[in-house]
Amino acid sequence: MNTVIFRTIAPTLAAIMLVFSIFVLLRGHNEPGGGFIGGLIAASAVAIYGIGASVTEVRRAIRLDPLSIAGVGVVLAGASGLVSAFFDVPFMTSQWLAFEFADSEVVLSTPMIFDIGVYLVVFGTISAVALALEEPEQ
């Protein structure tokens, strides 16, 4: 769309939405949120940027093919379940790792890695669909 207002605001809005999507993703375990809704917000950021700028510019900005991002997400989500194999418990049993870092407690877990995988899958798939729809027909 060729309006000055939208072309100016689209990159800023996309950046804010991407940051918010990561916030929603990382908050997801104990409060509302998670990988799926975070991925949806990030994909809509890509869609807004694609309408405001152009599809080629979006493809240059995210560097990787969206579908390969989705593939990495599937591998990540599956690999997070394999961690439990080292502890002699059933597949996908949660493993937690808590440590002190800079005066605050950081808690890492396999559900978080699984959630990041879901985020990448949703982001890759939905933005691949959105970019394919926005691309001018040959």
Partner 1 sequence: MVDLFLVLSGITVALAFGLALYRFVAGPLAVDRVVAFDTLTIISVTGIVLVALAANRIVYLDVALVYALLSFLGVIVAARYLEGGE
Closer Cβ to partner 1, 62 or 92, answer by number:
62
| Nearest approach, Cβ of residue 65 and partner 1 (Å) | 22
| Nearest approach, Cβ of residue 1 and partner 1 (Å) | 6
Closer Cβ to partner 1, 17 or 122, answer by number:
17
Which long-range CB contacts under 8 A does 50-59 form with residues at least 24 apart? 50/130, 50/131, 50/134, 51/1, 51/6, 51/10, 51/134, 52/1, 52/6, 52/7, 52/9, 52/10, 52/11, 52/14, 53/7, 53/10, 53/11, 55/131, 55/134, 55/135, 58/131, 59/131
Closer Cβ to partner 1, 121 or 130, answer by number:
130
Distance of alpha carbon 45 from alpha carbon 66, whole angstroms: 14
Residues engaged in binding partner 1 (CB under 8 A): 1, 6, 13, 17, 20, 24, 31-33, 37, 41, 44, 47-48, 51
Closer Cβ to partner 1, 33 or 76, answer by number:
33
Residue 47's closest CA among 137, 119, 138, 129? Answer: 129
| Nearest approach, Cβ of residue 51 and partner 1 (Å) | 6
| Nearest approach, Cβ of residue 48 and partner 1 (Å) | 6
| Nearest approach, Cβ of residue 15 and partner 1 (Å) | 12
Closer Cβ to partner 1, 38 or 66, answer by number:
38
